[in-house]
Structure 1
Amino acid sequence: MTLVYGLGRSGLGVLAFLRRRELPARFYDDRPKEAEVAEALALGFAPDWELSGQYEEVVAAPGVPLTHPHLVRLREAGSRVLGEAELAYRLSPTPILGITGTAGKTSTTLFTAHLLQGQGLRALPGGNMDPPLVSVVDETEVAVAELSSFQLERVDAFRPKVAVLLNLGVDHLDRHGSLEAYHQAKLNLLKNLTREEALVYNAQDPRVLAAAETSPARLYPFTPGETPRESNLQAALQATRAYLDLLGRRLDPEALRQSLQSLPTPPHRFQVFARKGEVVFIDDSIATRTPSVAAALRAAPAPIAWILGGEDKGADLEPLKPLLPRVAVVLAIGRDGSRMARALGEGPEVVEVLEADGREALKAAVAEALRRLERGSVLLAPLAASFDQFRDYKDRAQAFREAVFALGGEPWTPSS
């Protein structure tokens, strides 16, 4: 019997994956939502709210730390804890391209799937992005999976046909405890590779290069471009070549040229989506790392009302301080927003938005920004994870957009 621990996007995807295979399971969630429980029940599964069953395997959602007391107790009782990537690998014959790194995962995943589609392959993206990997593998010829450190810390036999390692920077120190542990989780992507698989890697990242040099896989280095988008595209091109090589197929240059003219744009990455008078609204909900937030603060029209906060991941605030003269007000939301804003030191005024409900918090933040700005921008670049108040960064982005339009924002177009 399997226990699916944690519902949400990942857990419900796992339950549907198990239902298609007529495999028995029960489910549990620390903070069950009525709609999600109803969906799990409709799939034919029963809950185990007391965690009283005996389980051979526990498929834990990536948002649940491995140190969670319940998971510790289940392991001590003999359960094997794994994640959706391991489950998909074990139970589906579909080849998987696995993509990880501190930055650029989503863009590289979307680009790779798009380029493979252009070469005539049925390729679908999934994993850490929407939809879950388990929702993709049964629908496609090859699955292109964005894999976070949270997902990779719970793999065992997982072995992608092509592994893509983009970079190893600083992130999620709150979850992993140290930079070494975070990097080790990322490197789990490589641990089972053989000479039958391919490894695409960043030849200019010393940590990545060191890991690649010890791998038995077929090596496909890439050189980063001048911008993140160019870097991610270089990685996607090499991933496409690597997979075609494994299939014994030649790359079609004309099809590639056409694909490059229609590359997808990842959502919620510094998107100007609305305006009200001379104030524009920018959705950069994915910006949870210092370099991404710094880029957003440099690019947003000043003066900026900066919406900051959520679950602090241990981000370094020092590189942001020189950019604070562009910020008129910091609107601190979520569990750690107030503490993070105070840690910025002297600078713009800080307004603490104390609403516990995330949607109400963003509505209050937008209203406060509009009271203070006659021109400039309202920037959601939270520098923090979303799980304290939202399902994920996409839910946070949607709540921000809803708040903006509810308070009179009008859709923005390049000509507006």
Structure 2
Amino acid sequence: MILVYGLGRSGLGVLRFLKKRGLPARFYDDQPREEEVVQATALGFAPDFELQGVYREVVAAPGVPLAHPNLEALRERGALVLGEAELAFRFSSTPIIGITGTAGKTTATLFTAHLLRGQGVRALEGGNVDPPLVSVVDEAEVAVAELSSFQLERIHAFRPRVAVLLNLGVDHLDRHGSLEAYHAAKLNLLKNLTPEDALVYNEQDPKVREAALLSPARRHPFTPGESPKETNLRAALEATRAYLDFLGRPLDEAALRESLQTLPEPPHRFQAFAKKGSVVFIDDSIATRTASVAAALKAAPAPIAWILGGEDKGADLEALRPLLPRVRVVLAIGRDGPRMAEALGGGVEVVAIPEREGREAMRQAVVEALKRLEEGSVLLAPLAASFDQFRNYRDRAQAFREAVFALGGEPWTPSTS
């Protein structure tokens, strides 16, 4: 018997995957949402909210820490804890391209799938990017999987045919406990590679290069471009070439030129989506690392009302202090937002939003922003994880957009100004 621990998009995707294969399972969630429980039971699965069953395997959603007491107890009773990437690998014969890195993995994943489709390969993306990997793996000729450290820390035999390692920086220290543990989770992507597999890697990242040189896989290095987009495109091109090599096919240069004209734009990455008077609203919900937030603060029109906060992942605040003169007010949400805002210093006004419910907190943040701005921008660049108040960064972005439109914002992009 399998236990699916955690519903949401990942857990429900896992249950659908198991149902298709006729595999018995039960489900559990620490904070079950009624609508998700209804969906799970409609699929024919029963809950085990007391965790009384005996389970051979537990498929834990990436938002559930491996050190969670319930997972520890289940392991002590003999269960193997794994994630959806491991499940997809075990029960599907579809080859997988696995992509990870501290920054850029969503864009590189979308670009790789797009370029492969342009080459006539039925490639579908999933994993950390919507939809779950288990939701696409059966429909694809090759599945292109964005893999977070949370997903990679719970793999065992998982082996992608092409592994893509973009970079190793600082992130999720709150979850992994140390930089070494975080990097070790990322490097799990490489642990089962063989000489029959390919490894695409950033040869200018010393930690990445060191790990790549120890791998038996065929090495496909790339050099970073001048911008994040160019870097991710170079990685995607190399991954595309590597997979076509497995198929014994050359790259169709004419098709590639066409694909480059229609590259997808990942959502929630510094998107100006609405305007009210002379105030622009910018959704950068994915910006949870210092470098990403710094780039957003440099690019957003000043003065800025900056929505900050959530679960602190160990952010380095020092690099952001020189940018504070562009900020009119910091609107601190979530568990750690007020503490992070105060630690910034710099004499900027801080408004702490004590509301715990995520959507109401976001609405209050937008209200406070509009009280203080007649021009400039309201920027959601949270520098923190979303799980204290939202399902994920997409849910956080949706809450921001809902609040903006409810308070009089009108749809807008720079091209329509």
Deviations, residues 103-129 of structure 1 (Å, cap 9, x unaligned): 000000000000000000100100001
2:401 aligned partner, one-letter code = R
Amino acid at match of 2:156: D
Structure 1 residue ranges without an equivalent (≥5): none
Alignment of 1:30-179 (within 5 A): 30-179=30-179
Q: What is the CA deviation profile of residues 247-301 of structure 1, one whole-angstrom value per residue up to 9, with x for unaligned ones? A: 1111100000000000000000000000011100000000000000000000000
Conserved? CA contact 1:325–1:347, under 8 Å: no
Alignment of 1:297-312 (within 5 A): 297-312=297-312
C-alpha separation in 2, matches of 1:73 and 1:20:
29
Which segments of 5 or more consecutive residues in structure 2 lack a partner in the other structure? none
How far is the alpha carbon of 1:96 from its aligned partner? Answer: 0.3
AA matched with 1:170: V
d(CA) in 2 for partners of 1:347, 1:232: 37
Q: After TM superposition, list the pairs within 5 Å mapping 1:6-405 onto structure 2.
A: 6-405=6-405
2:148 aligned partner, one-letter code: S
Q: Distance in 2 between matches of 1:66 and 1:364?
A: 34
Contact 2:5 2:28 (C-alpha < 8 Å) held by counterparts: yes
Q: Does the Cα contact within 8 Å between 2:304 and 2:379 map onto a contact in 1? A: yes
8 Å CA contact 1:311–1:388 kept in 2: the answer is yes
- What's the CA shift for 1:354? 1.0
Query: Using the alignment, how far apart are the partners of 2:67 and 2:359 within structure 1?
Result: 29
Q: Provide Cα deviations, 1:33-71, integer angstroms capped at 9, x if missing partner.
A: 000000000000000011000000000000000100000
Aligned to 2:410: 410
Assess if the C-alpha contact under 8 Å between 2:321 and 2:346 holds in 1: no
| Percent identity for Structure 1 against Structure 2 | 79
TM-score, normalised with respect to structure 2: 0.99
Structure 1 contact 202–222 (Cα < 8 Å) conserved: yes
Shift of 1:356: 1.1
Q: Distance in 2 between matches of 1:84 and 1:343?
A: 37
**Contact 2:111 2:233 (8 Å CA) reproduced:** yes
Alignment check: 8 A CA contact 1:4 1:58 kept: yes
TM-align CA RMSD: 0.5
SS of 1:244's equivalent in the other structure is: helix
The ranges of structure 1 where at least 4 consecutive aligned residues each deviate by more than 3 angstroms after the TM superposition are none
- Please give the alpha-carbon distance, in whole angstroms, between the structure 2 residues aligned to 1:415 and 1:142: 37
Q: Shift in Å at residue 415 of structure 1?
A: 3.0
Partner deviation per Cα, 1:156-192 (whole Å, 9 max, x = no partner):
0000000000000000000000000000000000000
- Residue-by-residue CA offset, 1:342-396 (whole Å, 9 max, x unaligned): 1102321000011111111111110110010000000000000111111110111
- Distance in 2, Cα, partners of 1:415 & 1:391: 32
